[in-house]
Amino acid sequence: MSKQTRKKISLIIAILGFLFLTEGMIKNFEKIKFLYAYYYEPTSFMKDELIIKSFHEEINEDTGVTSIYVYIGNLKKDKVKTQITANKNSIERNKNGNILVWRYKFKNKSRTFQRTPKEEFPPLKFTYSSWLATLFTILFLPALIYYSFLKRKIKKLKND
C-alpha cells in the first residue's frame, strides 16, 4: 500500500474519530456508557412489556408506503411512559397483546428495545453502533498523529 493511500485512510479515520468524539461530548458519551453497561452491568437490562396506549404510522415520503409504526405506552413493571419504533410484522407480542421489550437503565439514561420470548440477555446487535463509536473515538488521536507523520515524510521526500 502506498504512502498516499495510507495517508488518506488515516485522514478518514481521524475525521470519523473527531466526529464520533464530538457526538460523544454532545451526548455525554451515551454510546460508550451503553457498551460499558452491556458488558459490565448486566443488571442494567430488564425484561419488560410495553402496554400499548396508542400507535401511529410513519409513512415513507418517497414511496408512500407505511412500514414503520411508533408504539407509545407504559412499561408494565414501573409504569414509565416510553415508545418503540418497529415494523408491524416483526413485533413480538405476548398473549395479552403487549410488546415484549428490553429496558436499559443506567446512570439516569433509559432505552427500550424489542425482544423475543426466548431471549435471556439482549442480543449483541444492540451494541454495534456503540462499538463503532468507541473504536473511532479511541482511534482519533493515533490516526491524526500517523497522518501528520506521513504528511511530513511525503513532504520531505518531495523536497529531496
Three-class secondary structure assignment of 102-160: EEEEECCEEEEEECCCCCCCCCHHHHHHHHHHHHHHHHHHHHHHHHHHHHHHHHHHHHC
Does residue 76 share a domain with residue 106? Answer: yes
117 and 144 both lie in a single domain:
no
Model pLDDT, residue 96: 85
**Domain that residue 147 falls in:** 3-35+130-159
Q: Which of 94, 89, 145, 83 is nearest to 116 (CA)?
A: 94
Residue type at position 78: D
17 or 113, which is more confident? 17
Count how many domains the chain has.
Answer: 2
Say whether both 155 and 115 belong to one domain: no
Residue 122 carries which side chain, given as an amino acid letter? P
Same-domain status, 13 and 87:
no
Shared domain check, 134 and 116: no
Strand partners, 55: 71
Residue of 146 and 2 predicted with greater confidence: 146
Does the pLDDT at position 111 exceed 90? no
Query: What's the pTM?
Result: 0.66
For residue 55, the model assigns a pLDDT of 84
140/102 same-domain check: no
Q: Which strand ranges, in their side-by-side order, compose the sheet holding 99-106?
A: 81-87, 66-75, 45-59, 99-106, 109-114
Q: Which of 37-51, 78-92, 107-121 has the lowest mean pLDDT?
A: 107-121
Do 69 and 97 reside in the same domain of the chain?
A: yes
- Considering the domain architecture, whether residues 79 and 120 belong to the same structural domain is answered as yes
Residue 93 has pLDDT above 90, yes or no: no
Q: How far apart are CA 138 and CA 117, in angstroms?
A: 36
Distance CA 139, CA 119 (A): 33
Cα 69 to Cα 90: distance, rounded to the nearest angstrom: 11
Question: So what's the pLDDT on residue 60?
Answer: 65
